Amino acid sequence: MRYYLRKFGFYLAALWAAVTLNFFIPRMMPGDPVSILMAKLQQRGGSVNPEARRAYELLLGTDTGEPLARQYLSYLGNMLHGDFGISVSAYPVPVSEVIATSLPWTVVLVGIATVLSVLVGTGLGMLVGWRRGTWLDALVPATTVLAAVPYFWLALVLVAVLGSALGWFPLIGGYDVDFTPGWNLDFLGSAVHHGVLPALTIVISSVGGWLLGMRNMMVSTLSEDYVLTATAKGLPNRRVMIWYAARNAALPSIAGFAISLGFVVAGSIVTEQVFSYPGIGSKLLEAVQNNDYALMQGIFLVTTVAVLGANLVVDLLYSVIDPRTRAGANA
């Protein structure tokens, strides 16, 4: 129980840190983002109603003479309600709505790609570590090249080869615009078809890290006494490999999930840009290019919450896999 409380407490602290960071960054930076936003809004023919202006001021800070503490409290209130103001680039849609339509795309894409990459990488790492000294060792240096390739570069090469040259997959977009988004087969099929290349990019680029981490831990674990015991017990090789070696070797990879997820999220933002994928990464860049600070801030917060949530889920999962954490011994 203590373990869970600690974890929840930690993620609350992290969330608070992110929200606060989000409050201070625009205030510390040069320039007056609120006036830029208001000017943009007027260009688009938007009326500057006081409510929208207030939301911007709280989000981005401007010299209104209001004490910082009061601004901060009102800002927290707005964040709680999900009120990030109006998006300029998608005027007059509120930021929360822009995020709501694009978030599912990213969550599904990054989620599936990450799960695939973890499974493939850990599985291969287990085999490479288990059969150390065989030809499988050659996989290790090979994957380092893949891990060092920039995501977007790989994405563009994949597009050029599998998309343009061979025509197997569509070049850009998240689905065929002929179909209406919804729970129908045509749309889902086209979404999967469009998702293959972006997902492939993420999997290829991130699988090496999982493989290497698992392989190294596997090698260390294989010299543990309990693996020797399992061998002496005459258990089948598969059982020794999976239940004695891999079960223990996977623990540090899972504990280090946060680092890996950070890289995947970073990579997928750039990847989305390459594919003009209708996800949150493309929206973030659109926001940056249009000085849509409100949307930018909102996306940063939502991404952070999603990443924190994913890490929390993994931490809770970890306590199921490693009984020692539940006793509070290792928390």
Closest CB 267 distance from other proteins, rounded Å: 8
Q: Can you give the chain as a three-state secondary structure string?
A: CHHHHHHHHHHHHHHHHHHHHHHHHHHHCCCCHHHHHHHHHHHCCCCCCHHHHHHHHHHHCCCCCCCHHHHHHHHHHHHHCCCCCECCCCCCCEHHHHHHHHHHHHHHHHHHHHHHHHHHHHHHHHHHHHCCCCHHHHHHHHHHHHHHCCHHHHHHHHHHHHHHHCCCCCCCCCCCCCCCCCCCHHHHHHHHHHHHHHHHHHHHHHHHHHHHHHHHHHHHHHCCHHHHHHHHCCCCHHHHHHHHHHHHHHHHHHHCHHHHHHHHHHHHHHHHHHHCCCCHHHHHHHHHHCCCHHHHHHHHHHHHHHHHHHHHHHHHHHHHHCHHHHCCCCC
Comparing CB distances to other proteins, the nearer of 202 and 265 is 265
Question: C-beta of 195: minimal distance to other proteins in Å?
Answer: 21
Minimum distance from residue 187 beta carbon to other proteins (Å): 28
Q: How far is the CB of 274 from other proteins (least distance, A)?
A: 8
Q: Which is nearer to other proteins, 51 or 132 (CB)?
A: 132
Q: How far is the CB of 126 from other proteins (least distance, A)?
A: 15
**Closer residue to other proteins (CB): 104 or 323:** 323
Select 88 or 191, whichever has its Cβ closest to other proteins: 88
Q: Which residues contact 27 (CB under 8 A, 6 or more apart)?
A: 60, 61
Taking the least distance from each CB to other proteins, the nearer of 28 and 185 is 28
Nearer to other proteins by C-beta: 189 or 262?
A: 262
* Residue 52 CB, nearest approach to other proteins (Å): 20
Q: Which is nearer to other proteins, 115 or 160 (CB)?
A: 160
* CA contacts within 13 A on the Cβ side of 131: 13
User: Minimal distance in Å, beta carbon 31 to other proteins?
Assistant: 6
CA 11 to CA 312: how far, in whole Å?
7
Phi/psi at 178 (5° precision): -65, -25
- Contact status, residue 209 vs residue 260, Cβ threshold 8 Å: yes
- Cβ 184 to other proteins shortest distance, Å: 33
Which CB sits closer to other proteins, 73 or 157?
157
Residue 50 C-beta: closest distance to other proteins, Å: 24
Question: How is residue 9 written in tokens?
Answer: 């407490």
CA 148, 104, 115, 191 dihedral sign is negative
C-beta of 151 vs 175, nearer to other proteins:
151
